Amino acid sequence: MFVLVGVTGGIAAYKTVHLVRALVLDGHEVHVIPTEDALRFVGRPTWEAISRHPVTTSVHDDVAQVRHVALGQQADLIVVAPATANFLAKFAAGLADDLLGTSLLATTAPVVVAPAMHTEMWRHPATTQNVEVLRARGVHVIGPDSGALTGGDVGPGRMSEPDAIHAYVAGLLAGEDPEGTRAKSLDGVRVLVTAGGTREPIDPVRYIGNRSSGKQGIAVATAAADRGAEVTVVLAHVDSDVLREASAHRSITLERAGTAAELGDAVARLAPSADVIVMAAAVADYRVEDASETKISKDSTDGALHLTLVETADVLAATTAARRTGQTIVGFAAETEPDPDIRIERARRKRERKGVDILALNEVGWTKGFESTDNTLSLIGADGAVLATVSGTKRETAEALWDAVLAVRGT
Ligand code: CTP
């Protein structure tokens, strides 16, 4: 097969040497197309020696062979590793100011990108949107992994290991579509997701809230939508970048709910027409009994403010009590219990109490679970068995959750 390996300007370029070598050893004809910046990390002689073909970055070399489009036209697959934030932006915009850019526009072959950058750059809304654009165009995105980054910081942004990229690419070249079956696995399924944290008013100015950013719930919703589901999200308070991501997805309908009661009303109305319900929202367990109509002033409180908190209605328990045949219901449990055995046992009991098919157990704490991009979920099934324990980006844990839902539904 004719494989193009694009290399853009990141330190992970040195790892791509191993990827090229593995592809050559598989017997493929491999051509490397670095960007000018990539050559500052790994030089032309290395790429030429390892790929056994001449290497150029420019559209002005070898013009007689119309090389700027010929490579892309011939390619059976293009993999870009590492893919920098700058490259992803250029590719999303369709810019073609070098040989890699023209080759990518000239190809109809599968394209795989392996992002590598610092965590802040990966999380920037510009990068998030560019990646969404590329995914929507059918570009395969592998990684990034979480781990040590250049400069000593740790987080998501590390390029996937060359072996993992190689396995992924080899699968595609062998005719497997790693996302193909996934992409259609929820076709026509109606999904209702709740996300974010509710806010219970104390007075018109103040509220009691929680630290949920909505990231995990929105990752669950976008993963379902990308698998072909019709998704409605009942959205409590979420971070602004999370809201932007959810609003950008064309198969997601958003409905806002501020308080536990509003969320309960929305779910009661929408649940009957859903096939799968995922209650990822952090719903307040208590609300202020008598929220004040006017701002509470210190003049009236005499040194201390006493609020009476009363339990809110359990939306999830009400939803499972009213469930119709064929509905699959997933609950979440955020637990701070440090002992994993006790934590799982608590989650088992909670699953039974709430009557859900799957309970996604999320270990949280002062520095764990909230606001972060990564998460660990243990998925507890109907008989109390741990179906899977997954760590990774919230998108990756969301994919595992959908795999488990499909297994439970027997589809
Ligand atoms: N939940 C809900 N309505 C509430 C509170 C929680 O629907 N009023 C849902 C959450 O969306 C989540 C699940 O119930 O899916 C678990 O929430 P959690 O607060 O952990 O459950 P509790 O029964 O309140 O258990 P605990 O006593 O541990 O707080």
Domain containing residue 212: 190-409
In a shared domain, residues 226 and 346: yes
In a shared domain, residues 278 and 404: yes
Collapsing DSSP states into helix, strand and coil, what is residue 113? strand
In a shared domain, residues 329 and 364: yes
In the reported structure, the alpha carbon of residue 239 is separated from the centroid of ligand 1 by a whole-number distance in angstroms of: 21
Per-state percent for the chain, helix, strand, coil, to nearest 5: 40, 25, 35
Q: Which helix (DSSP H) or strand (DSSP E) does residue 148 occupy?
A: strand 145-148
In a shared domain, residues 146 and 11: yes
Residue 96 beta carbon below 6 angstroms from any ligand 1 atom: no
Confidence of residue 122 (pLDDT cuts 50, 70, 90): very high
Give burial (CB, 10 Å; 0-12/13-18/19+) of 304.
exposed
* CATH, residue 296: 3.40.50.10300
Helix ranges (DSSP H) in 36-84? 44-51, 67-74
Model pTM greater than 0.95?
Answer: no
Model pLDDT, residue 247: 84
Q: Which helix (DSSP H) or strand (DSSP E) does residue 62 occupy?
A: none
In the reported structure, the alpha carbon of residue 283 is separated from the centroid of ligand 1 by a whole-number distance in angstroms of: 7
Listed in sequence order, the residues at least 6 apart from 269 whose beta carbon sits closer than 8 Å to its beta carbon are none
Collapsing DSSP states into helix, strand and coil, what is residue 330? strand
In a shared domain, residues 205 and 339: yes
In a shared domain, residues 285 and 323: yes
Count of domains forming the chain = 2
In the reported structure, the alpha carbon of residue 303 is separated from the centroid of ligand 1 by a whole-number distance in angstroms of: 33
Question: Which of 152, 183, 214 is the last residue before a domain boundary?
Answer: 183
Out of 342, 354, 359, mutate this one to test ligand 1's pocket (max ligand atoms within 8 Å of CB): namely: 354
pLDDT digits (tens, 9 = 90+) for 347-358: 999 999 999 999
The reply to whether 375 belongs to the active site is no
Residue 315 beta carbon below 6 angstroms from any ligand 1 atom: yes
Residue 26 is given by DSSP the state T
Best CA proximity match to 143, nearest among 119, 114, 164, 166: 114
pLDDT digits (tens, 9 = 90+) for 66-112: 677 889 999 999 999 999 999 999 999 999 999 999 999 999 999 99
Model pLDDT, residue 326: 93
In a shared domain, residues 216 and 323: yes
Out of 314, 353, 359, mutate this one to test ligand 1's pocket (max ligand atoms within 8 Å of CB): namely: 314
pLDDT digits (tens, 9 = 90+) for 39-68: 999 999 999 999 999 998 887 776 666 677
* CATH, residue 126: 3.40.50.1950
Question: Which of 168, 183, 198 is the last residue before a domain boundary?
Answer: 183
In a shared domain, residues 20 and 76: yes
In a shared domain, residues 213 and 170: no
d(CA 310, CA 228): 40
In a shared domain, residues 104 and 225: no
Query: Which atom of ligand 1 lies closest to the CA of 318?
Result: 7
Q: Is the pLDDT of residue 241 over 80?
A: yes
Omega before 162 within 30 of 0, i.e. cis: no
Out of 259, 265, 283, mutate this one to test ligand 1's pocket (max ligand atoms within 8 Å of CB): namely: 283
Model pLDDT, residue 63: 65
Model pLDDT, residue 156: 78
In a shared domain, residues 205 and 237: yes
In a shared domain, residues 317 and 199: yes
**Nearest residue by C-alpha to atom 24 in ligand 1:** 285
Query: Phi and psi for 30 in degrees, rounded to 5?
Result: -115, 125
Of 130, 210, 362, 375, the active-site residue reads 210
Model pLDDT, residue 265: 98
Q: Which helix (DSSP H) or strand (DSSP E) does residue 129 occupy?
A: helix 125-136
Q: Is the pLDDT of residue 231 over 80?
A: yes
Residue 316 beta carbon below 6 angstroms from any ligand 1 atom: yes
Share of residues in the chain with pLDDT > 90 (%): 72
Q: Is the pLDDT of residue 311 over 80?
A: yes
d(CA 276, CA 326): 9
